[in-house]
């Protein structure tokens, strides 16, 4: 049999490792900043570019796509070549992939801080960047599938199944969720509205967790854990069963982010049931990982990389049990909109993804650079700092979440809410926010030790850019052999595997999304609900641009303690003109769905909003709402109004024909009324300032269905 000589591309792996280290520090630092901002509003620094509504998406995007993303590419590109015995498919594509991804990260940071956002969580990036992401992601996929097709190993190893699911899953999710209508170079509206947008967005949002933070990392676990521990994988059978069940079931579970919200009951029920069924498939990965280590626990004591992987698997097991529990409606009514969810995501992010990244790199970097790790002692210190950091971060937030929920639903002996002011609950949990900063600080200081250790190791070692390898040429007979299982045959046939994975992935999305789009009874209309006026639409864009949804929901759930606090619960028909929906996922401040309902507790007059935006501390001394003084200085670009109206018409919003011609005049009329109202209270603002549009938008929320509007 002919033996072929070839090289592994180590240089690209090095690049992605370096990017991981640098972006990891940035992402964690921004995390620390937003933790400080929540406890001490002064850390918003008084600039619109550094205010929480913009820095929070920067943190989530940086952690997921920059830190975890680069680490994933490093791990995938290193292991893929070795389990397939082939160099990466194409060096040019590898370079395009690397540099393209870094450009995306820089563009993301710049645009998010500048207020260019779609307002959809974890998919905030605007349309030109979305297109770039799609192209670079396809480059990654071409490189992967090309390598699979040119491999020298007959069967495709388990890790690679997970990598394939990652590529295909994210490709489908990203493209479907990002279909949007551009109105300018950095502004677009999603084609979906309201409840439809919510279903698509959380189908994406939840599965970004699945296919960016879970599947690639399970694949990496299947390579790096047996390599680092030098133990065989415990169960090949289990790896098959939990792979297929996990990728099939995950895609259905997105609606668990929308329980008790304005969504048809059947979609919610699918979200609940499929989430619960995910427990065992998720735990399959943890079991296979931990059982692989049996008989090797003495190594875990000595090797920091294995310690991190054990913590990672444990955190994964906890988070994937907790997640399905949070998908039960009763539990969800507690965890949703509170810090419980934040604690949950950080157990998974810091514990599972962080643990896997640290574990992988503590093993990989010395191996790649052919030198021992600079300091085992530092690595152990890092381990303890990280583990303590996670606990100190998560426990206060669980505490805060439950405390806030208990307060929000508490009635006094007279049947009235004990804490009618939302702010009282925020003030109560403030000490927990301080403790959380400490947890973050521990985790970050551990990361700095890790960075130092990595750089020292890299400097002491020397990398072979192109590492020589040899393997016999692959000869494969296509026919299914006697006694060969179907799955075993599929492992030999890359194309069939790709198609099978794709099929398993798309079912859940199709069953949930298409009926939401096509069956009208799913979206019961409300006659009183009218499209946004041009001024309200402009205000909505400012609301999105400043990331208000990061702290304020627009969704009153059908729970008595919510309707007593805010008013009538939200209906599907209220949101049919909302491109994008802005329901939010965390209430750091009160819900705003009834901010335009005269007589509700959240209805405030124009002058109140003016004072509150410019000097929130004067209205509520304990508030953590940042000040937005620039709202009175920034001017709305009126030339964009007709463009936006036409875009909305294209998306099906029923403005009268040729309304774009009249829109600016209507804008000014409505604005002048608010200007006059403010003037009567002694405040002079020009009609084209952002604050006027913001006030108009807030006064639209819930107005259409309010009694005052029916008169």
In the window 182-201, what residues touch another protein (CB under 8 A)?
Answer: none
For the chain, the residue count is 711
- Between residue 250 and residue 269, which ones bind another protein under the rule CB under 8 A? 260, 265-266, 268-269
Tell me the C-alpha to C-alpha distance, in Å, between residue 34 and each of 57, 448, 584, 622: 10, 19, 17, 18
SS (H, E, C) 569-605: CCCHHHHCCCCCCCCCCECCCCCCCCCCCCCCCCCCC
The answer to whether 237 contacts another protein (rule: CB under 8 A) is yes
Instruction: Rank residues 174 and 492 by Cβ distance to another protein and give the closer one.
Output: 492
Please identify which residue in 603, 613, 631, 697 interacts with another protein, judged by CB under 8 A: 603
Residue 182 CB, shortest distance to another protein, in Å, is 36
- Between residue 391 and residue 430, which ones bind another protein under the rule CB under 8 A? 411-417, 420-421, 424
Residue 562 CB, shortest distance to another protein, in Å, is 10
Show Cβ contacts of residue 707 under 8 Å, excluding neighbours closer than 6 positions.
599
Tell me the C-alpha to C-alpha distance, in Å, between residue 483 and each of 114, 161, 232, 240, 629: 61, 22, 24, 18, 74
The answer to whether 276 contacts another protein (rule: CB under 8 A) is yes
Instruction: Rank residues 56 and 594 by Cβ distance to another protein and give the closer one.
Output: 594
CA pair distance 32, 437, nearest whole angstrom? 7
Instruction: Rank residues 180 and 562 by Cβ distance to another protein and give the closer one.
Output: 562
- Between residue 280 and residue 319, which ones bind another protein under the rule CB under 8 A? 280-281, 283-284, 287, 291, 294-295
State CA 326 to chain mean position distance. Answer: 17
State CA 577 to chain mean position distance. Answer: 24
Instruction: Rank residues 288 and 545 by Cβ distance to another protein and give the closer one.
Output: 288
Q: What is the DSSP string of 339-381?
A: HHHHHHHHIIIIIIIIHHHHHHHHHHHHHHTTS--S-HHHHHH
The answer to whether 223 contacts another protein (rule: CB under 8 A) is yes
Provide the Cα torsion 502, 508, 511, 515; round to 10°. -110
Residue 629 CB, shortest distance to another protein, in Å, is 15
- Site pattern 437..466 for another protein (x: CB under 8 A): ------------------------------
- Between residue 527 and residue 566, which ones bind another protein under the rule CB under 8 A? 558-560, 563-564
CA pair distance 372, 363, nearest whole angstrom? 10
Residue 153 CB, shortest distance to another protein, in Å, is 5
- Between residue 483 and residue 512, which ones bind another protein under the rule CB under 8 A? none
- Between residue 127 and residue 166, which ones bind another protein under the rule CB under 8 A? 153-155, 157-158
Residue 195 CB, shortest distance to another protein, in Å, is 13
Instruction: Rank residues 36 and 624 by Cβ distance to another protein and give the closer one.
Output: 624
Beta strands 180-184 and 187-190, pairing class: antiparallel
Tell me the C-alpha to C-alpha distance, in Å, between residue 548 and each of 53, 559, 585, 604, 674: 6, 24, 11, 17, 21
Q: How many residues bind another protein (CB under 8 A)?
A: 78
DSSP secondary-structure letter at 156?
Answer: P
The answer to whether 599 contacts another protein (rule: CB under 8 A) is yes
Show Cβ contacts of residue 231 under 8 Å, excluding neighbours closer than 6 positions.
225, 292, 293, 295, 296
Please identify which residue in 1, 2, 5, 232 interacts with another protein, judged by CB under 8 A: 232
Instruction: Rank residues 564 and 688 by Cβ distance to another protein and give the closer one.
Output: 564
Segment lying near another protein (by CB under 8 A), choices 35-43, 222-230, 361-369, 652-660: 222-230
Show Cβ contacts of residue 237 under 8 Å, excluding neighbours closer than 6 positions.
none
- Between residue 620 and residue 679, which ones bind another protein under the rule CB under 8 A? 620-621
- Between residue 26 and residue 85, which ones bind another protein under the rule CB under 8 A? 79, 82-83, 85
DSSP secondary-structure letter at 705?
Answer: T
The answer to whether 432 contacts another protein (rule: CB under 8 A) is no
Instruction: Rank residues 274 and 369 by Cβ distance to another protein and give the closer one.
Output: 274
CA pair distance 576, 705, nearest whole angstrom? 13
- Between residue 681 and residue 710, which ones bind another protein under the rule CB under 8 A? 681-683, 708
Helix, coil or strand: residue 693? helix
């Amino acid at each position: 049999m002919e033996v072929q000589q070839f090289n592994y591309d180590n240089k690209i792996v090095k690049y992605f490792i370096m990017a991981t280290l640098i972006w990891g520090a940035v992402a964690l630092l921004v995390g620390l900043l937003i933790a400080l901002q929540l406890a001490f509003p002064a850390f918003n620094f008084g600039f619109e570019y550094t205010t929480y509504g913009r820095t929070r998406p920067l943190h989530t995007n940086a952690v997921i796509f920059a830190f975890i993303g680069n680490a994933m590419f490093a791990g995938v590109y290193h292991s893929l070549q070795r389990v397939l015995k082939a160099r990466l498919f194409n060096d040019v594509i590898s370079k395009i992939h690397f540099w393209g991804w870094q450009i995306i990260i820089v563009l993301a940071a710049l645009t998010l801080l500048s207020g260019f956002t779609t307002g959809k969580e974890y998919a905030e990036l605007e349309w030109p960047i979305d297109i770039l992401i799609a192209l670079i992601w396809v480059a990654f996929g071409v490189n992967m599938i090309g390598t699979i097709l040119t491999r020298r190993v007959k069967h495709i190893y388990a890790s690679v199944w997970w990598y394939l699911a990652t590529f295909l899953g994210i490709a489908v999710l990203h493209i479907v969720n990002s279909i949007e209508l551009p109105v300018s170079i950095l502004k677009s509206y999603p084609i979906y509205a309201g409840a439809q947008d919510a279903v698509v967005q959380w189908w994406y949002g939840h599965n970004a967790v699945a296919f960016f933070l879970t599947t690639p990392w399970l694949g990496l676990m299947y390579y790096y854990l047996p390599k680092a521990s030098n133990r065989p994988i415990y169960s090949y059978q289990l790896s098959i069963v939990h792979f297929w069940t996990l990728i099939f079931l995950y895609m259905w579970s997105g609606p668990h982010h929308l329980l008790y919200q304005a969504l048809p009951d059947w979609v919610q029920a699918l979200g609940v049931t499929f989430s619960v069924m995910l427990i065992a498939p998720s735990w399959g990965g943890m079991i296979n990982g931990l059982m692989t280590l049996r008989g090797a626990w003495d190594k875990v004591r000595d090797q920091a990389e294995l310690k991190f992987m054990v913590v990672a698997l444990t955190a994964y097991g906890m988070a994937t049990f907790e997640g399905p529990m949070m998908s039960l409606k009763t539990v969800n009514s507690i965890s949703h909109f509170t810090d419980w969810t934040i604690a949950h995501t950080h157990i998974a992010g810091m514990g599972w993804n962080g643990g896997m990244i640290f574990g992988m790199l503590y093993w990989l970097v010395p191996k790649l650079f052919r030198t021992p790790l600079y300091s085992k002692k530092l690595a152990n210190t890092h381990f303890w700092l990280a583990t303590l950091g996670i606990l100190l971060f998560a426990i206060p937030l669980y505490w805060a979440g439950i405390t806030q929920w208990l307060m929000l639903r508490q009635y006094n002996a007279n049947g009235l809410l004990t804490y009618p002011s939302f702010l009282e609950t925020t003030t109560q949990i403030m000490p927990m926010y301080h403790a959380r900063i400490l947890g973050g600080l521990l985790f970050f200081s551990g990361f700095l030790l890790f960075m130092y250790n990595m750089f020292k190791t890299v400097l002491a070692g020397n990398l072979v850019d192109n590492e020589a390898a040899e393997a016999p040429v692959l000869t494969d007979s296509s026919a299914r052999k006697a006694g060969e299982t179907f799955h075993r045959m599929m492992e030999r046939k890359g194309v069939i595997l790709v198609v099978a994975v794709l099929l398993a992935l798309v079912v859940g999305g199709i069953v949930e999304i298409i009926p939401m789009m096509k069956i009208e009874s799913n979206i019961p209309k409300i006659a009183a609900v009218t499209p946004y006026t041009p001024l309200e639409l402009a205000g909505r864009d400012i609301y999105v641009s400043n990331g208000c949804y990061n702290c304020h929901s627009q969704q009153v759930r059908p729970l008595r303690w919510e309707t007593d606090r805010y008013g009538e619960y939200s209906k599907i028909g209220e949101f049919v003109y909302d491109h994008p929906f802005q329901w939010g996922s965390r209430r750091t401040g009160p819900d705003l769905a009834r901010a335009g309902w005269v007589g509700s507790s959240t209805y405030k007059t124009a002058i109140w909003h003016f004072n509150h935006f410019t000097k929130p501390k004067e209205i509520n001394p304990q508030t953590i709402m940042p000040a937005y003084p620039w709202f009175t200085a920034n001017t709305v670009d009126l030339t964009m109004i007709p463009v936006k109206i036409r875009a909305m018409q294209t998306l099906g919003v029923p403005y009268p024909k040729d309304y774009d011609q009249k829109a600016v005049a209507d804008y000014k009329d409505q604005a002048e009324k608010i200007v006059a109202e403010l003037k009567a209270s002694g405040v002079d603002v020009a009609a084209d300032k952002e604050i006027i549009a913001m006030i108009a938008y807030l006064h639209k929320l819930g107005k259409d269905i309010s009694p005052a509007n029916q008169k």
